[in-house]
Chain A
Amino acid sequence: EAGVTQFPSHSVIEKGQTVTLRCDPISGHDNLYWYRRVMGKEIKFLLHFVKESKQDESGMPNNRFLAERTGGTYSTLKVQPAELEDSGVYFCASSHGGGAFFGQGTRLTVV
């Protein structure tokens, strides 16, 4: 069974540019979550999809972040425009009850 897959694994962009991260959850998992770890600090929740609907987006830091999950399959997280403080590792997880399975993460560096 394929796990949660994230693209790209690394991204280096300049301040002010746009970056889109993608997450492919485990097939059949209705729940998809985005987390991030900034500057080696704790892993923080960003938002939660149930199928294509946003169940909880209380962790989204500001309106420069936009998450979508069209068709309830893969999800994208767009940062526009990126700022220096957005640098960190962005994790995606999916679940169908019983604990979440995480992807490898995308390491984003904004310079």
Chain B
Amino acid sequence: AQSVTQPDIHITVSEGASLELRCNYSYGATPYLFWYVQSPGQGLQLLLKYFSGDTLVQGIKGFEAEFKRSQSSFNLRKPSVHWSDAAEYFCAGTGGNTNAGKSTFGDGTTLTVKP
């Protein structure tokens, strides 16, 4: 079955420190992969997506993610975290259709940023 797993439920980092949020996928073929963020009281916002091509994807707000087929991973990274990055982050995947709205989501990772 197709699945997306986020192993970390909660991560705490200090402001200015680097961040990596993990995401693993299980699909028969290379999926389309997404990262979304939900800030308190807000909806889901698309950070970045991977369809094909360059495996290092740049997104908004200084985030990037790297697709690694050998590890079935699509980890999200940011070199220096800001307090406003505190939110819940969701990795999602879909089975390779450009009509990418129907996605399978991970359980989410809550990020806390310490001053």
Contacts and interface: CB of A to CB of B under 8 A. Distances in A.
The size class of the interface chain B forms with chain A is 20 to 34
Nearest to B43: A104
Contacts of B45: 102
Nearest to B45: A102
A98 B102 contact: no
Contacts of B42: 104
A32 B101 CA distance: 8
Contact of B99 (A91, A97, A102): A97
Interface residues of A, number: 26
B27 interface: no
Contacts of A94: 101
B101 A43 contact: no
* A-B interface, 6 closest residue pairs, ranked by CB to CB distance from nearest: A102-B44, A104-B43, A100-B101, A43-B105, A95-B101, A33-B101
Interface of B: 32, 34, 36, 42-46, 49, 51, 90, 92, 98-108
